A = this chain, B = another copy of it.
Amino acid sequence: MERSRYSIGPVRNPQSQRAVIDAATTLLRTDGYAAFSIDAVARRAGASKPTIYRWWKHKAGLIHEIFDTESENLLSIEETGCLRDELHQLCRNLFTGWRDTASGMALRGLIAEAQQDPRALALLKDEIIPFRLQYPMRVLERAQKRGDIAPSRDLHAAARLLMTLNWHLLLTDSLEEDELLLASIDLVIDGLVVGTTTP
C-alpha cells in the first residue's frame, strides 16, 4: 500500500532496491542535492539506470521515498498539554532530524525539483504537504479541545504558517536560527489565543 506510492514495477528485488536506496541516501547526505542524479545513484549502487527507472518513475519519486523513510519518527513529541511547548518540541525535533539524517537534503531536493518538474510539484502538493500538516494540526486541535484556542480560530492557517517557516529556514540553510523560530511560534500562538480573551 505504502510502497505503491513510489513504485511502478510489479515486483522489486528487495536486495537491489535496498542498494539503490542506500546509495541514494548516502549521496544526498554526504554530497548534497547538487551531486544527486540517477546516473550517480546507479554508479554507486551498481545498478542499471533502466532498473532504477522501472522502480521509480523519476528522480523526485526516489527522493520522496528517501524523505519518507528518513523522516519517520521525526515528528513524534511528548504530549505535555502546553501548546507552546508542544509546538517548540515539534519544530526542534524536525530541525534535529533534518540535520542528522538525509531527510533535510531530500526535502530541499524535492522542493528544487518542483520548480522544474510538474510531477515533483504534484508530489509536494498532493502527498507531502497534506501528510505533514497533520502533525501541527493534531497539536493545535488538542489545544482547541482544551479551550486554549477559541473555536472560531483558523487552525489550518496556523499550521501552514509554521510549516512554511520551517521550510524557509531549511531552504535558506538557517536551521540554527532558533530565536527567530521561537519568536514566530509565539506570534502565531498569540494570534490564536487572543480569540479566547477578546470575543
Contact = CB atoms under 8 A, between A and B. Distances in A.
A161 B190 CA distance: 14
A116 B32 CA distance: 7
A161 B183 CA distance: 10
Contacts of A183: 154, 156-157
Contact of A187 (B108, B109, B111, B192): B192
Interface stretch (A10-18, A71-79, A87-95, A172-180): A172-180
Interface stretch (A1-9, A38-46, A51-59, A162-170): A162-170
Range class of the A interface residue count:
35 or more
A146 interface: no
A19 interface: no
B121 A112 contact: no
A197 B193 CA distance: 13
A172 B172 CA distance: 16
Nearest to A107: B115
A21 interface: no
Contacts of A47: none
A187 B191 contact: yes
B117 A34 contact: yes
A135 interface: no
Closest 6 CB pairs of A and B: A191-B191, A34-B116, A164-B168, A157-B183, A190-B191, A112-B115
Interface of A: 32-34, 108-109, 111-117, 121, 124-125, 129, 153-154, 156-158, 160-161, 163-165, 167-168, 171-174, 180, 183-184, 186-195, 197-198
